[in-house]
Homo-oligomer: A and B are copies of this chain.
Amino acid sequence: MLSDTRSAILTAAERLYAARGFADVTLRDIVAEANVNLAAVNYHFGSKDELITELFVSRSLATNRERLNELKAAEAAGGGRAPIDQVLRALVGPTLRGCLGPDEQRSDAARFMIRASVEAIAPIHKIRNREIDHLRKFAAAMRRSLASVDEVEIYWGLHFALAMAHQTIRDSERLQKLSEGRCDLDDVDGVIDRVVAVAATALGAAAKADKPAARRGR
Q: A212–B193 contact, CB under 8 A?
A: yes
CA distance A187 to B113 in the complex (A): 30
CA distance A86 to B218 in the complex (A): 9
CA distance A16 to B37 in the complex (A): 37
Number of interface residues of A (CB under 8 A): 60
| Per-position 1/0 for A161-196, Cβ under 8 A of B | 011101110110011011100110000010001101
- Enumerate A190-218 residues with CB–CB distance to B below 8 Å: 193-194, 196-198, 200-202, 205, 212-213, 215-218
A contact patch SS: helix
Closest B residue by C-beta to A172 = B159
Q: What are 30 residue pairs bridging A and B, where the CB atoms are less than 8 Å apart in the complex?
A: A22-B23, A23-B23, A24-B122, A74-B217, A83-B216, A85-B216, A118-B118, A118-B170, A119-B119, A119-B120, A131-B174, A132-B177, A132-B178, A139-B178, A155-B175, A155-B182, A155-B183, A156-B183, A159-B171, A159-B183, A160-B198, A162-B171, A163-B167, A189-B215, A193-B215, A198-B198, A198-B201, A201-B201, A201-B202, A202-B202
